[in-house]
């Protein structure tokens, strides 16, 4: 494919078009994904997540600047929420990324969630691979304002940075089981505000209570806690160093391949569910099968699960 060749050569217009095809689920996107896949797996992927207003975009802007200072090409994927009413999205996170917008070595793309849960867009993984194939050394993914259960970023990022801030009431609420457990690096941003030291201490206590086997000997990774004031770049060099230490740990411990296999297994499993579901629904809509099943549910002659199970069985048993 001509588009694939241009993308692999680093053509930014080809990259932008490839991402648009992917977001729109154009049939050509699947062919493109297959063509570029052998050239992926080289970029480092860092995920940045945390509650709304934690300063994620400002941190991403600062990290992007530091990566560029070290000579690396950087791509940023900023996820923005989609309105449940209009279906639109402001796509405004990139406004805060003031330095990267004028740097030819930086590519910033906003993606709308389009109703997908987990703090990401359904197409995040595919877009990361396009950026990887285009030759970027680092890909930073910023999730939407994430809550305690929005942990999908761990399936795409090798290193997950969880950003927290003081002043949210019970600060540890945002760091309960779920989002805390996916953190490879913990950040207390806005560390110049009252309560930052207390939040850092509470996080440290929680980490010590839940330390994995081998933590004391260094065999297991214990997330470091980094204090930052992102608006003035304070602490961002320490944050970048922490992410790089984690990348080295994954490579040296052999956990990188284990994690990658786990992530790809989850992605393939999810795609099987999606594609099988689409095929089953398309089949059920023929010959009035779908209408009959829904009519039975509306009349209380069947419940939704039984009706769906019957359609799936018929689909699998068809000749």
Q: Which CATH superfamily is domain 40-253 in?
A: P-loop containing nucleotide triphosphate hydrolases (3.40.50.300)
CA atoms within 13 A of residue 32's CA, in its CB half-sphere = 28
CA distance 171 to 48: 18
CA distance 82 to 113: 6
Q: What is the pLDDT of residues 266-296, one digit of tens each?
A: 888 888 988 899 899 999 988 789 999 999 9
Give the model's confidence band at 263: pLDDT under 50 very low, under 70 low, under 90 confident, else very high: confident
Domain with CATH 3.40.50.300 in the chain: 40-253
184: tokens are: 């490879």
Q: What is the pLDDT of residues 140-164, one digit of tens each?
A: 999 877 655 567 788 889 999 999 9
CA distance 151 to 181: 9
The DSSP code sequence of the chain is -HHHHHHHTT-HHHHHHHHHHHHTT-HHHHHHHHHHGGG-S-SEEEEEE-STTS-HHHHHHHHHHHHHHTT--EEEEEEEPPPTTT------GGGG-TTGGG-TTEEEEEEE-TT-SSSS-TTHHHHHHHHHHTT-SEEEEE-SS--TT--GGGGT-SEEEEEE-S-SSSGGGGGSTTTTTT-SEEEE-STTSTTHHHHHHHHHHHHHHTPPTTTTTTSS----EEE-BGGGTBTHHHHHHHHHHHHHHHHHHTHHHHHHHHHHHHHHHHHHHHHHHHHHHHHHTGGGHHHHHHHHHHTTSS-HHHHHHHHHHHHHH--
Q: For 30-39, 215-224, 248-257, which range has the lowest pLDDT when averaged over its residues?
A: 215-224
Check residues 287 and 173 and name the one with the higher pLDDT. 287
Q: Can you give the pTM of this predicted structure? A: 0.85
Report whether pLDDT(300) > 70.
Answer: yes
Closest CA to 146 of 97, 113, 194, 109: 113
Phi, psi of 47 (to 5 degrees): -100, 140
CA distance 128 to 124: 6
């Amino acid at each position: 494919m001509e588009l694939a060749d241009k993308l692999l050569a680093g053509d930014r217009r080809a990259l932008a078009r490839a991402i648009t095809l992917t977001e729109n689920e154009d049939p050509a996107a699947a062919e493109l994904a297959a063509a570029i896949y052998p050239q992926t797996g080289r970029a480092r992927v860092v995920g940045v997540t945390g509650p709304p207003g934690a300063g994620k975009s400002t941190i991403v802007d600062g990290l992007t600047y530091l990566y560029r200072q070290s000579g690396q090409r950087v791509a940023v994927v900023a996820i923005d929420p989609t309105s449940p009413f209009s279906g639109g999205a402001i796509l405004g996170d990139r406004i805060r990324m003031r330095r990267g917008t004028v740097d030819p070595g930086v590519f910033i793309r906003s993606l709308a969630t389009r109703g997908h849960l987990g703090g990401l867009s359904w197409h995040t993984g595919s877009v990361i691979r396009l950026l990887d194939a285009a030759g970027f050394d680092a890909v930073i993914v910023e999730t939407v304002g994430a809550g305690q259960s929005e942990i999908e970023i761990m399936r795409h990022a090798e290193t997950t940075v969880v950003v927290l801030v003081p002043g949210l009431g019970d600060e540890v609420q945002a760091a309960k089981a779920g989002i805390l457990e996916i953190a490879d690096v913990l950040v207390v941003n806005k560390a110049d505000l009252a309560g930052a030291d207390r939040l850092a201490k509470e996080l440290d206590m929680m980490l010590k209570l839940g330390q994995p086997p081998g933590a004391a000997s260094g065999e297991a990774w214990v997330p470091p806690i980094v204090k930052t004031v992102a608006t003035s770049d304070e602490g961002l060099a320490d944050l970048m160093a922490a992410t790089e230490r984690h990348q080295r740990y994954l490579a040296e411990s052999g956990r990188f391949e284990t994690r990658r296999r786990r992530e790809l297994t989850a992605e393939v499993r999810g795609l099987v569910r999606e594609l099988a579901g689409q095929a089953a629904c398309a089949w059920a809509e023929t010959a009035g099968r779908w209408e009959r099943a829904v009519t039975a549910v509306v009349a209380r002659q069947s419940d939704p699960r039984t009706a769906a199970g019957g359609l799936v069985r018929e689909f699998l048993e068809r000749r």
